[in-house]
Amino acid sequence: MTAHFGVEVPWLYYARFAIVLSAALSHLDVQLSSAVLDVALLLEVLGLVWGFVPRPTG
């Protein structure tokens, strides 16, 4: 976030936002909540894999 907008946001705010979003979606519709959580899990796994993949330097 800092690189794009020059604003540093602590991870705790992202976590709280995710919890509130998940609670709101599960209250409204379980299938919609499931789809959003599937996307979030996929993005998390991709982020972890991308962080562990050695990148060529040079």
The string of DSSP letters for 6-57 reads: S----HHHHHHHHHHHHHHHHHH-HHHHHHHHHHHHHHHHHHHHHHHSPPP-
Q: Where are the domains positioned within the chain?
A: 10-51
Taking the whole predicted model, whether its pTM rises above 0.75 is answered as: no
pLDDT tens per residue across span 5-58: 777 888 899 889 888 887 887 777 778 778 888 988 898 888 888 776 666 776
Number of other residues whose CB lies within 10 A of the CB of residue 33 = 17
pLDDT of residue 31: 82
